[in-house]
Amino acid sequence: MYPFEAESVAYAVCQHYGLDTSDYSFGYVAGWSSGKELSELKASLETIRATANDLITKIDGHLAQLQQEREAQQEQAPAIWNGLDGLINDKPFMPGATPEQQANALIDFAERDGQRLGNGERRLIVDYANVIRDYHKVADLINELCEDGFEIQHGHVDASVQMRVEREIAEAPPILLDPEAEPLVTVIWSESADLRDGEQMPLSQAEIVFKALDDAMKNEPGYDKTKFRIDFTMNGEADNYEGRQDFGDGDGSLIEHIQGYHEYYAQDESWKNHVLHHEGPEAWEADKAERDMILGEFIPYLKLHCNLSAMEREAQRPLQSGETLTPEQTAYFNAVLDYVRQCRPLLNQGQYQLPEPPRLADFDVDLQEYKAHVMDEIQREAAAAGMTVEEYAANGYEPAAQPEPEIPVLFNCLGREKERSDSISALLVRQVQSSVFMEDTIRRMGELGLDALVEIGPGKALSGFVKKTVPGLPVYAVETPADVEALEGLVKENG
């Protein structure tokens, strides 16, 4: 039987018993069956149908037999000792211990006089404890399993009990984390020997561990399935995400797996058709909206948390290593840790545009003094240009460009009118420091069709020079206030 046929059989059987594995099975089957000929697929379909029917028939018969045996035992068996009666008495039980530690302690107590549970039942109890986090309920489950002794007698966990407990786990409310904490990853169960069922770790650590385990399995036969749960605070609300990564499939890190998984199903037409056919258009729109949220908000949220944790590790390493640090370096690394502590609650409240992180240069005393000196110079230059510092900086630290004059302005240092490319400030300097071209300037005025020329200031030396250079050009000398008042009349009189 081909692997995709086995997965198809598992999907059909699980659907029969109310277990929905379509989220995983569809992608797996699509990947294995792509490129197959129609005749091959028809043959596989018959294999899948026959095998699934045979399994369902056998399972139904086995379950019926187990139910009869269980009812008979309950009628005949005397009351069995309840291993945990009187243990708790409404007093705190192992305060400070993790749920997994509490569950294992309760299991040890229940079995102190001998084995009463199978390994599958123990794992189910630990899974339940890690999610429910109520040792009274965990104790009730241990009592139930100890009294039945089902796995000890039959070699596997009672299917009805397992389904009931897993349903309660799936419907459990999110773990209430510290609103300032990094997301928490719980390994619900794993086939990897390097992970413990119920093991918990921060998101940033799980990101590294999952990638390493996936890389290690790439060249190994098969893969290690791992069911995980991420508890987090997003937009101020506690929430969780559950998934399964198969180490060895090449998905990479935990976040890469989640992103790749939802990118695949967001574009997969087979999955779309499945949802539309079985659940309708509204269900497909809800499915699409959820994946858009995961890809557009949840994934960036997780990546930002990992970035903060990476900064935290890089700052903690030199502070904890004992290496010699300058006062500036010590201040900088502590500032980074403060920055991370400040940003995590902001991120958990939905603020994804985080403040700029500290820079080592900000803690260099000599550099800061130089920056203050430069800033003082900039402020003086901006004031001299009649601008604010912000305006001066936006203009490239140059004075504001003067508008071009509507009437031509001639400069003696050029012997012609100013052009757009000429800088007024540079021309003023040149006017003082360089030779001037007075005759060229006056001739240019005549070429421009000047009607008259007015000389303002004491004496009439320039007026005489103009008359010699451009004969016939009217020239008026203005020396006194009275000359200014008479100027208008003189201009009108001479046309």
Query: What average pLDDT does the segment 380-390 reach?
Result: 85
Q: Is residue 401 included in any domain, yes or no?
A: no
What is the spatial distance between Cα 392 and Cα 400, in angstroms, rounded to a whole number? 8
Question: Do 224 and 295 sit in the same domain of this protein?
Answer: yes
Span of 69-78, 198-207, 378-387 with lowest mean pLDDT: 69-78
Domain range for 14 is 3-76
Q: Is residue 349 included in any domain, yes or no?
A: yes
Question: Helix, strand or coil for residue 137?
Answer: helix
Q: Which residue in this structure is represented by tokens 């904490």?
A: 181
Question: Do 302 and 187 sit in the same domain of this protein?
Answer: yes
Question: Do 325 and 465 sit in the same domain of this protein?
Answer: no
Question: Do 379 and 481 sit in the same domain of this protein?
Answer: no
pLDDT at 68: 77
For the stretch 87-123, pLDDT in tens is 444 445 566 667 888 888 889 888 888 899 999 999 8
pLDDT at 368: 67
What is the spatial distance between Cα 177 and Cα 202, in angstroms, rounded to a whole number? 12
Question: Do 387 and 422 sit in the same domain of this protein?
Answer: no
Q: Is residue 405 included in any domain, yes or no?
A: no
392 CB-near residues (< 8 Å, 6+ apart): 378, 381, 382, 385, 398
pLDDT at 259: 96
Say how many domains are in the chain. Answer: 5
For the stretch 256-275, pLDDT in tens is 999 999 999 999 999 999 99
User: Which residues partner with 200 through β-bridges?
Assistant: 186
> Given a cut of 80, is residue 29 above it in pLDDT?
no
What is the spatial distance between Cα 82 and Cα 228, in angstroms, rounded to a whole number? 32
The answer to whether the beta carbons of residues 192 and 213 sit under 8 Å apart is yes
CA dihedral (186, 191, 195, 196) positive or negative: positive
Is pLDDT larger for residue 485 or for residue 255?
A: 255
pLDDT at 396: 82
Q: Is residue 378 included in any domain, yes or no?
A: yes
Confidence of residue 241 (pLDDT cuts 50, 70, 90): very high
The answer to whether the beta carbons of residues 413 and 430 sit under 8 Å apart is yes
Q: What angle do CA 156, 159, 161 make, to 5 degrees?
A: 105
Q: What angle do CA 415, 420, 424 make, to 5 degrees?
A: 65
Percent of the chain with pLDDT over 70: 85
pLDDT at 77: 44
Highest mean pLDDT among 66-80, 141-155, 392-406: 141-155
What is the spatial distance between Cα 342 and Cα 354, in angstroms, rounded to a whole number? 10
Q: Is residue 82 included in any domain, yes or no?
A: no
Question: Do 198 and 341 sit in the same domain of this protein?
Answer: yes
Is pLDDT larger for residue 206 or for residue 33?
A: 206
For strands 200-202 and 224-234, give the pairing.
Answer: unpaired
Is pLDDT larger for residue 316 or for residue 472?
A: 316
For the stretch 318-377, pLDDT in tens is 888 888 888 888 999 999 999 999 999 999 999 999 999 998 888 877 666 767 777 888
Q: What single string gives the DSSP state of each residue in 342-369?
A: HHHHHHHTT--SPPPPP-GGGG-HHHHH
Is pLDDT larger for residue 69 or for residue 313?
A: 313
For the stretch 428-478, pLDDT in tens is 888 888 888 888 888 888 888 888 888 888 877 788 888 888 888 888 888
pLDDT at 224: 92
Domain of 468: which CATH number? 3.40.366.10
Question: Do 356 and 375 sit in the same domain of this protein?
Answer: no
Helices (H), 22-148: 22-33, 38-76, 99-110, 119-132, 135-148
Tokens of 161: 């009990």
What is the spatial distance between Cα 102 and Cα 88, in angstroms, rounded to a whole number? 12
Q: What angle do CA 60, 61, 62 make, to 5 degrees?
A: 95
For the stretch 265-304, pLDDT in tens is 999 999 999 999 999 999 999 999 999 999 999 999 999 9
399 CB-near residues (< 8 Å, 6+ apart): 384, 385, 386, 387, 425
Average pLDDT taken over every residue of the chain: 82
pLDDT at 89: 46
Question: Do 272 and 358 sit in the same domain of this protein?
Answer: yes
Question: Do 269 and 315 sit in the same domain of this protein?
Answer: yes
- CA 395: distance to chain centroid? 35
Query: What average pLDDT does the segment 130-146 reach?
Result: 85
Confidence of residue 134 (pLDDT cuts 50, 70, 90): confident
Question: Do 354 and 252 sit in the same domain of this protein?
Answer: yes
What is the spatial distance between Cα 181 and Cα 305, in angstroms, rounded to a whole number? 10
Final residue in a domain of this structure, among 43, 76, 109: 76
Q: Is residue 297 included in any domain, yes or no?
A: yes
pLDDT at 62: 79
Q: Which residue in this structure is represented by tokens 């198809």?
A: 8
For strands 200-202 and 184-190, give the pairing.
Answer: antiparallel
Final residue in a domain of this structure, among 170, 201, 218: 170
Question: Do 20 and 160 sit in the same domain of this protein?
Answer: no
Kindly give the interhelix angle for 254-267 and 281-293, rounded to the nearest 10 degrees.
150
For strands 475-478 and 453-456, give the pairing.
Answer: parallel
Q: Is residue 404 included in any domain, yes or no?
A: no
Question: Do 192 and 280 sit in the same domain of this protein?
Answer: yes
- CA 487: distance to chain centroid? 76
Query: What average pLDDT does the segment 226-248 reach?
Result: 92
Final residue in a domain of this structure, among 76, 111, 139: 76
Q: Is residue 83 included in any domain, yes or no?
A: no
